[in-house]
Chains A and B, each alone.
Chain A
Amino acid sequence: MDPECSQLLPALCAVLADPRQPVVDDTCLEKLLDWFKTLTEAESGLQLLQENACLVELLSHVRRPQDVSPRVLSFSMRLTGIFATQEDCFQYLQQGELLLRLFGEAGPLSWAAWNIPTVRSGWIQGMHTLAQHPSALCFLSDSGAVDTIFSLQEDPSLFVASAANQLLVHVLALSMQDGTVGSHSPQGGAWPTCAQKIVGHVEESLRSPAASQVTQALNVLTTTFSRCHSPWTEVLWGQLSPAVAGLLEREPIPATHSLVDLVLSVARSPVFSSMDHRSLWKMVGQTLGHLSPVQAGPLALGILKLQHCPQQLKTQAFGVLLQPLACVLKATVEAPGPPGLLDGTAGSSMSVDTLLSSKSACVGLLCQTLAHLEELQPLPQHPLPWPQGPLLGASVTLLQLCGGSATPSSSAGGRLCVMLAGCVRVQRAALDFLGTLSQGTSPQELVSQVFAVLLEYLESPDSSPTVLKKAFQATLQWLLSSSKAPGCSELSPHIPLFFAELFPALRKRLCSPSWEVRDSTLEFLTHLSRHWGGQADFRQALLASELPVLVQQLLQDPESYVRASAVTAMGQLSSRRLQARPEHLEAQQGPVPELLHILSSDSEGFPRRAVVQVFTEWLRDGHADVARDTKLFVTTVLQVVSQDLDWEVRVQGLELAQVFLAQNLGCAGHCPYAMGLPEPAPPSPLPELLRTLGQLRLLEFAFRALFDCDRPVAQKACDLLLFLRDKTAPCGGLQEPGGSPNLAAVEASLQRWQAGEQGRPLEDPEPEAMLAILRSVDLEGLRSRLAESSDHVEKSPLSLLQDMLATVGVPEDNEADCY
Chain B
Amino acid sequence: MLDCGLDMTSTLNFLPLPLVQSPRLSNLPGWSLKDGNAFLDKTELIDLSTVDVVLISNYHCMMALPYITERTGFTGTVYATEPTVQIGRLLMEELVSFIERVPKAQSASLWKNKDTQRLLPPPLKDAVEVSTWRRCYTMQEVNSALSKVQLVGYSQKTELFGAVQVTPLSSGYALGSSNWIIQSHYEKVSYVSGSSLLTTHPQPMDQASLKNSDVLVLTGLTQIPTANPDGMVGEFCSNLALTVRNGGNVLVPCYPSGVIYDLLECLYQYIDSAGLASVPFYFISPVANSSLEFSQIFAEWLCHNKQSKVYLPEPPFPHAELIQTNKLKHYPSIHGDFSNDFRQPCVVFTGHPSLRFGDVVHFMELWGKSSLNTVIFTEPDFSYLEALAPYQPLAMKCIYCPIDTRLNFMQVSKLLKEVQPLHVVCPEQYTQPPPAQSHRMDLMIDCQPPAMAYRRAEVLALPFKRRYEKIEIMPELADSLVPMEIKPGISLATVSAVLHTKDNKHVLQPPPRPAQPPSSKKRKRVSEDVPDCKVPKPLLSGSIPVDQLVQTLEKHGFSDIKVEDTAKGHIVLLQEAETLIQIEEDSTHIICDNDEMLRVRLRDLVLKFLQKF
Given A417-B439, A418-B442, A511-B274, A460 contacting B239 (CB threshold 8 A): no
Given A406-B439, A507-B242, A513 contacting B234 (CB threshold 8 A): yes
Binds A, one of B46-54, B127-135, B265-273, B499-507: B265-273
Given A461-B401, A508-B239, A513 contacting B266 (CB threshold 8 A): yes
Binds B, one of A552-560, A712-720, A745-753: A552-560
Whether A417 pairs with B235 at a CB distance below 8 angstroms is no
- Asked if A462 lies at the interface with its beta carbon under 8 angstroms from chain B, I say yes
Chain A residues with CB below 8 A from B232, complex form: 461
- Asked if B75 lies at the interface with its beta carbon under 8 angstroms from chain A, I say no
Whether B410 pairs with A513 at a CB distance below 8 angstroms is no
Considering the chains assembled together, what is the distance between the CA atoms of A685 and B431 in angstroms? 86
- Tell me which of B228, B235, B273, B275 has the highest count of chain A C-beta atoms within 10 A of its own C-beta: B273
Given A462-B228, A556-B275, A514 contacting B439 (CB threshold 8 A): no
- Asked if B246 lies at the interface with its beta carbon under 8 angstroms from chain A, I say yes
- Interface residues in A591-605 by Cβ distance below 8 A to B read none
- Mostly, the A contact residues are loop
- Interface residues in B242-295 by Cβ distance below 8 A to A read 242, 245-246, 266, 269-270, 272-275
Considering the chains assembled together, what is the distance between the CA atoms of A302 and B275 in angstroms? 53
Q: Mark B223-234, 1 if CB is under 8 A from A, else 0.
A: 000111011111
Chain B residues with CB below 8 A from A778, complex form: none
Identify which of B228, B238, B272, B446 contacts A512 (C-beta below 8 A). B238
Whether A508 pairs with B442 at a CB distance below 8 angstroms is no
Identify which of A417, A462, A514, A559 contacts B441 (C-beta below 8 A). A417
Chain B residues with CB below 8 A from A550, complex form: 245
Considering the chains assembled together, what is the distance between the CA atoms of A408 and B269 in angstroms? 41
- Asked if A546 lies at the interface with its beta carbon under 8 angstroms from chain B, I say yes
Identify which of B233, B237, B410, B439 contacts A407 (C-beta below 8 A). B439
Whether A415 pairs with B441 at a CB distance below 8 angstroms is yes
Whether B238 pairs with A404 at a CB distance below 8 angstroms is no
- Asked if A422 lies at the interface with its beta carbon under 8 angstroms from chain B, I say yes
B403 → chain A, closest Cβ, in Å? Answer: 11
- Tell me which of A461, A462, A463, A517 has the highest count of chain B C-beta atoms within 10 A of its own C-beta: A461
- Interface residues in A427-472 by Cβ distance below 8 A to B read 460-463
- Tell me which of B226, B238, B266 has the highest count of chain A C-beta atoms within 10 A of its own C-beta: B238
Whether A513 pairs with B231 at a CB distance below 8 angstroms is no
Considering the chains assembled together, what is the distance between the CA atoms of A513 and B241 in angstroms? 10
A364 → chain B, closest Cβ, in Å? Answer: 19
Query: Which residue in chain B gives the minimum CB-CB distance to A465?
Result: B234
- Mostly, the B contact residues are helix
Identify which of A414, A549, A553, A558 contacts B272 (C-beta below 8 A). A558
Chain B residues with CB below 8 A from A408, complex form: 439, 441
Considering the chains assembled together, what is the distance between the CA atoms of A421 and B410 in angstroms? 9
- Asked if A509 lies at the interface with its beta carbon under 8 angstroms from chain B, I say yes
Considering the chains assembled together, what is the distance between the CA atoms of A559 and B269 in angstroms? 13
- Interface residues in A556-594 by Cβ distance below 8 A to B read 556-559
- Asked if B440 lies at the interface with its beta carbon under 8 angstroms from chain A, I say yes
Given A461-B228, A508-B242, A553-B245, A514 contacting B442 (CB threshold 8 A): no
Query: Which residue in chain A gives the minimum CB-CB distance to B273?
Result: A558
- Asked if A515 lies at the interface with its beta carbon under 8 angstroms from chain B, I say yes
A465 → chain B, closest Cβ, in Å? Answer: 10
Given A406-B439, A415-B441, A461-B401, A513 contacting B237 (CB threshold 8 A): yes
Whether A512 pairs with B442 at a CB distance below 8 angstroms is no
A97 → chain B, closest Cβ, in Å? Answer: 68
Chain A residues with CB below 8 A from B238, complex form: 508-509, 511-513
Given A421-B442, A461-B401, A508-B239, A514 contacting B226 (CB threshold 8 A): no
Chain A residues with CB below 8 A from B440, complex form: 404, 417, 421
Considering the chains assembled together, what is the distance between the CA atoms of A512 and B272 in angstroms? 13
Q: Mark A491-515, 1 if CB is under 8 A from B, else 0.
A: 0000000000000000111011111
Whether B439 pairs with A513 at a CB distance below 8 angstroms is no
Which 9 residue pairs of A and B lie closest in terms of their CB atoms, listed nearest first?
Answer: A461-B231, A414-B441, A511-B238, A418-B442, A511-B241, A462-B231, A461-B235, A421-B442, A407-B439
Binding site for A on B (CB under 8 A): 226-228, 230-235, 237-239, 241-242, 245-246, 266, 269-270, 272-275, 401, 410, 437, 439-442, 446
A-B contact pairs, 15 of them (CB 8 A): A404-B440, A417-B442, A422-B228, A461-B234, A462-B228, A508-B242, A511-B242, A513-B234, A513-B266, A513-B269, A513-B274, A553-B245, A556-B275, A558-B272, A559-B273
Binding site for B on A (CB under 8 A): 404, 406-408, 414-415, 417-418, 421-422, 460-463, 507-509, 511-515, 517, 546, 549-550, 553, 556-559
6 additional contacts (CB under 8 A) given A407-B439, A462-B228, A511-B245: A404-B440, A404-B442, A463-B231, A508-B239, A511-B239, A513-B238
